[in-house]
Structure 1
Amino acid sequence: MGILCDYFSAPTDEAAATAADVPGGPRAASDPGFEVVELKGIEPVVQLGTLEAILTGVDYDVVTRNPRQGHAVAVRHDGEVLVISLTDELRGALADAEEGRLREVAVSWSETEEFRGLAEPAILAEALVELAGLARRATARDERLYCWVCV
């Protein structure tokens, strides 16, 4: 079974939750229109929790205690469609990271248990560059980051 993940920004949890009600998620939403980065198969809880730990140097157990990490702001269709919040700390770390740093992090991230042998560092680096761009624009608009998940 595959997992579809669209990362997007929104001004509030309530606005982000509306993406769960649109067939096709935030890419298909026209009101409000969301800026979206599609990262199929990169899930927002464990994999991005691990990314946050690597990128910030904060222990994974501390990352997971953040109430925004992996918090479902919307659940639909018996859990087949979710909108998950990302932490402000991850948004900030992504927004502040230079491309060279993101490429270094991608190597470490690719070697984690969740990715080992499944993802090339170069592919993860491109995903991080896209996600960092989204984080920068979200920061400039004072928005938060979310993930629409469809299983």
Structure 2
Amino acid sequence: MSIIIKFFAAPDDEAAAAVVERGPDGVFESLVFGNFDIEEAMIEWESPFTGRRFEDLVAADEPRVVADPRDGEGPLVLVASAPLQDALATADQPRLAEVSELWVRERAVEGETFDPELATELLDELANLARTAGGRDARLYCWTA
């Protein structure tokens, strides 16, 4: 379970990895969320957006780790897959709400409760960041601690 989650856009893996110890604040504009398993969430978002099965995404090591200096015991940086970033960037409001509802239901099955309105807002903000990243020829990253 991630305590702090910050999504940001960076030009490449090297620039994103450079902020692993302190986070993207002051270097990249970021969206701050918290208190959920971000790796699982990114897979749970990508699956309905792209049609790829959860198991296939796990087997493909999605989301890819860009920097993990303490081998899972500290902050790390992940990169959203290109298909997830593209899906977020092109999704309209009804599609974002649909994926959000699926995610909230999936988490409920696992015993976690998320406010559906907040979950939709999260994906909406993330979609806006994905659009910004694509417009700058950048990638969508996530820093977590």
TM-score interval (norm. to shorter): 0.7 to 0.9
1:18 aligns with 2:15: no
Give the structure 2 partner of residue 72 of structure 1: 65
Provide closer, same or farther for how the CA distance between residues 97 and 42 of structure 1 changes in structure 2, counting only shifts above 3 A.
farther
CA contact (8 A) 2:2 2:37 kept: no
Q: What secondary structure does 1:112 align onto?
A: helix
- 1:38-84 CA-to-partner distances (Å, cap 9, x unmatched) read 121243311110110022222112223445x2322112356311111
- 1:114-143 CA-to-partner distances (Å, cap 9, x unmatched) read 665510211100000000000000011111
Aligned residue type for 2:121: E
Provide closer, same or farther for how the CA distance between residues 53 and 12 of structure 1 changes in structure 2, counting only shifts above 3 A.
same
Q: What secondary structure does 1:6 align onto?
A: strand
- C-alpha distance in 2 between matches for 1:70 and 1:2: 14
CA contact (8 A) 2:2 2:144 kept: no
1:110 aligns with 2:104: yes
TM-score (norm: length of structure 1) = 0.85
**Residue 142 (structure 1) aligned to one of 128, 137, 140:** 137
Q: How many residues align?
A: 143
- C-alpha distance in 2 between matches for 1:149 and 1:113: 19
- Aligned residues: CA RMSD: 2.0
- 1:11-64 CA-to-partner distances (Å, cap 9, x unmatched) read 110000111132xx112x3xxx21211121243311110110022222112223
Moved segments of 4+, more than 4 Å: 114-117
- C-alpha distance in 2 between matches for 1:117 and 1:43: 11
Q: List alignment gaps of at least 5 residues for structure 2.
A: none
TM-score (norm: length of structure 2) = 0.88
Q: List alignment gaps of at least 5 residues for structure 1.
A: none
**Residue 128 (structure 1) aligned to one of 120, 123, 128:** 123
Provide closer, same or farther for how the CA distance between residues 77 and 60 of structure 1 changes in structure 2, counting only shifts above 3 A.
closer
Give the structure 2 partner of residue 45 of structure 1: 39
- Aligned pairs for 1:91-106 within 5 A: 91-106=85-100
- C-alpha distance in 2 between matches for 1:76 and 1:89: 26
